[in-house]
Amino acid sequence: NAGVTQTPKFRILKIGQSMTLQCAQDMNHNYMYWYRQDPGMGLKLIYYSVGAGITDKGEVPNGYNVSRSTTEDFPLRLELAAPSQTSVYFCASSSTWGTSGTAYEQYFGPGTRLTVT
């Protein structure tokens, strides 16, 4: 299993450009999450999904959009990029079931480092 994969690893955007960060998981997890992590700070939840076709806002959703058409994929769309969106973006997934009490244990991708200039 590849686990959670994210592309690209790095990206530089100009102000006002748009892009999509890709996230995929092959663990058949129903929950998926997008976080951002600013330098020296904790993670903040942007959006999450509890299953295909169902998404909801987290703590910092402004400037982002998501969709979940399949169980495996959860892309994050940035429209009109701004310098405040310079951050490292992490995708994660979890399942609502698990052996030995591991339900809701989150697994993370390697992250996408985004710079907006």
Residue with tokens 């009490």: 101
Residue 104 backbone dihedrals phi, psi, to 5 degrees? 70, 10
Taking a C-beta distance cutoff of 8 angstroms, is the pair 83, 91 a contact?
no
| Termini Cα distance of the chain | 36
Residue 54 in the binding site for another protein (CB under 8 A): no
Residue 102 in the binding site for another protein (CB under 8 A): yes
In the bound complex, what is the minimum distance in angstroms from residue 75's beta carbon to another protein? 18
For another protein, give the closer residue by CB, 7 or 17. Answer: 7
Q: Which stretch binds another protein (CB under 8 A): 18-26, 38-46, 65-73, 74-82?
A: 38-46
Strand partners, 29: none
Site for another protein, rule CB under 8 A: 31, 33, 40-45, 48, 50, 58, 90, 92, 101-111, 113
